[in-house]
Each structure stands twice: as C-alpha cells, then as structure tokens.
C-alpha cells in the first residue's frame, strides 16, 4: 500500500512539470555543444543562450561562463569552461 501511495505522489508531483509546456530548444551544431547542453542545461533553460546572443561578444560570453562558475557555483572545470565559452562566442556571439 505504501508503494502505491508513493507512486501516486510521485506522479502528481511530476505532472505540473510535464504540463509546463516549455518549448524544446535546439542549439546550433558545433564543437562543444555537448558541454553546453550538459553543463548549462543542467541548471537553466538553454533558451537563455538564444535570448542573450544579440548582446554578447566573445568577451561577454566568457564573462557569463565565469559568472556561472564563480557567482552561482556551477561545477564546471577550466577546460570545459573554455570549450563552452568558445562554442557560445562562435555560434551565438555578436
């Protein structure tokens, strides 16, 4: 009985997330995309990348990646941070 109750609770908890109707974001293919999807998408929507792309050049994207690590505690190593910033600058930089 306890398992059925837990399963029902889990289903009710997941239902609002499934119904949120968040659009699927497909980023441009390129070297480093896997790092962006895995690291950036773990904490926030990838839509932020497209939303900020009109405003950021290479230095801006580098600053954004650094901010995510230092200010928000994103667990991203130096090599991955560089790969992410390079991908963003190349594919979404001004």
pLDDT in tens, 48-69: 999 988 999 999 999 999 999 9
pTM exceeding the 0.85 threshold for the entire prediction: no
pLDDT in tens, 67-81: 999 999 999 999 999
Domain that holds residue 72: 23-92
62 domain-assigned: yes
pLDDT in tens, 19-38: 456 688 999 999 999 999 99
58 domain-assigned: yes
Share of the chain above pLDDT 90, in %: 72
51 domain-assigned: yes
Q: Give the other-Cβ count within 10 Å of 53's Cβ.
A: 16
Q: How far apart, in whole angstroms, are the C-alpha atoms of residue 57 and residue 16?
A: 37
52 domain-assigned: yes
4 domain-assigned: no
The number of domains in the chain is: 1
15 domain-assigned: no
11 domain-assigned: no
10 domain-assigned: no
């Amino acid at each position: 009985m306890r398992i059925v109750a837990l399963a029902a609770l889990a289903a009710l908890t997941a239902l609002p997330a499934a119904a949120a109707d968040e659009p699927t974001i497909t980023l441009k293919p390129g070297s480093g995309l896997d790092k962006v999807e895995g690291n950036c998408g773990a904490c926030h929507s990838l839509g932020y990348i497209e939303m900020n792309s009109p405003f950021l050049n290479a230095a801006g994207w580098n600053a954004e990646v650094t901010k995510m690590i230092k200010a928000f505690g994103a667990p991203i190593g130096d090599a991955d941070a560089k790969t992410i910033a390079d991908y963003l600058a190349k594919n979404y930089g001004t």
